[in-house]
Amino acid sequence: MTGHAKSKIDVKCTVAEVAAAMERLAPTGLAQSWDNVGLLAGDPAAAVRRVLTCIDLTHPVVDEAIEGEAEFIVAYHPPIFKPIRSLRADSAGTDAVVHRCIRHGLAIYAAHTALDAAEGGTNDVIADLCGAREVEPLEYVDAPGGGECKLVVFVPPAQSEAIAEAMFAAGAGRIGDYTRCGFRVLGRGSFFGDAAANPTVGERGRMEFVDEIRLETVVPAKRLPPVVAAMLKAHPYEEPAFDVYPLQGKPTGGIGRIARLLKPSSLSNLARRLKRATDATSVQIVGPSDRLVSRAIVVVGAAGSLPFRIALTPSDVIVTGEIRHHDALTIARLGCTAIALGHWASERPVLASLAARLSSMLGGVDVQVSAADRDPFHPA
């Protein structure tokens, strides 16, 4: 009996449900703008009994998935990154691997920088291996829109509460478990009505100054039209002045980690510790091996220039996968240190915890870490 036939009679969950679980673990909104994460291929309604996780989606990994009768692959690196013009089985690129997955009914999900930024993701795993006690994002990801607006309107003091109640009744003013939330401040407004104006207060053709209340409240974006309509209906002015400000969501994660170590360590001791914990085959360091470090700047994969946006000190160590030659020279000039574990080796440790968490969320689905996933670099 084929794996496809088995999944029909023993459905555990669907591709859409596995993708939704991944979204909870590593929200795609945390990914970098240039990245390509989420469900890249697959039928959302297809059944899933087995999931395979890997860093790189290669032909050996696909062989393993087919032989193990998996229906879903979670790959850290996106096999589809830039727009592709074709999917050919005989291609030397990753499109051939994607073609093969589609042919065998294997859904593909990419996590990449979403998993880097997420709590418990790639950077947190390495920070834990460093022995960190205080961990925070190195750089917060721009939060997506929070789905709310701030509505500000200027009203006569005598009518301020009636206008506020009209807005609240239309759906404004909720913050968590609290309703009818608003803010009021007294100020002085001015206007000059032209010949066609019909002002409620004052006269046309002259400068008027009036006391007004600045009334503001939060409004769900989908409720903005009826709230504005209710405000305009309740407002006594011919032309009420009001503003709408979109609100940004609260930052929930970020790329990289700043991690205070439980206790200072020499650079060489920390490098050896990480080499053992990650099974890295080749670890390189920048800086004196006996330097004591107390803070780790963790950026898995390729560090690039990201760590240099913060002030580095001699007690800092950059823990990453790979470092460009000129960046290593910069680190040395700054009197800082670094540990390069290898690109793949710095990312691979997250798979065990990811598989365990995903399995727990999906109850009954078999989630495994690929044994065929391999670092393309190895010692000579």
Query: H or E stretch including 20?
Result: helix 15-25
Nearest to 13 by CA among 360, 249, 281: 360
pLDDT of res. 307: 63
Per-residue pLDDT tens listing for the chain (380 residues): 344 444 444 667 999 999 999 999 999 989 998 999 999 999 999 999 999 999 999 999 999 999 999 999 999 999 999 888 888 898 888 989 999 999 999 999 999 999 999 999 999 999 999 999 889 998 887 655 567 899 999 999 999 999 999 999 999 999 988 999 999 999 998 888 887 888 777 778 888 888 999 999 999 988 999 999 999 999 999 889 999 999 877 766 788 999 999 999 999 999 999 999 999 999 999 999 999 999 999 999 988 765 667 888 999 999 999 999 999 999 999 899 999 999 999 999 999 999 999 999 998 899 999 999 999 998 88
Neighbours of 106 (CB within 10 A): 24
Total length of the chain: 380
CATH number of 122-142+254-340: 3.40.1390.30
Does the pTM exceed 0.85? no
Query: Fold identical between 3-112+349-369 and 122-142+254-340?
Result: yes
Question: Domain ranges in the chain?
Answer: 3-112+349-369, 122-142+254-340, 145-248
Phi and psi at residue 305, to the nearest 5°: -100, 5
pLDDT of res. 144: 58
Is 291:310 a contact under the CB 8 Å cutoff?
no
pLDDT of res. 255: 87
pLDDT of res. 190: 87
Is 233:166 a contact under the CB 8 Å cutoff?
yes
Helices assigned H by DSSP within 235-338: 267-278, 325-333
- 3-112+349-369 folds as 3.40.1390
- CA distances 180 to 163, 175, 219, 230, 264, Å, are 12, 9, 11, 15, 51
pLDDT of res. 203: 78
If DSSP codes are grouped into helix, strand and coil, which group holds residue 24? helix
pLDDT of res. 131: 93
Gap between the Cα atoms of 72 and 81, Å rounded: 19
Neighbours of 90 (CB within 10 A): 6
Gap between the Cα atoms of 167 and 171, Å rounded: 7
Phi and psi at residue 64, to the nearest 5°: -65, -40
Nearest to 66 by CA among 97, 23, 110: 97
- Whether CATH 3.30.70.120 fits 145-248: yes
Is 293:316 a contact under the CB 8 Å cutoff?
yes
Query: H or E stretch including 164?
Result: helix 160-169
Gap between the Cα atoms of 354 and 362, Å rounded: 12
Q: 55: which 2 tokens?
A: 């860093």
Nearest to 200 by CA among 160, 155, 134: 155
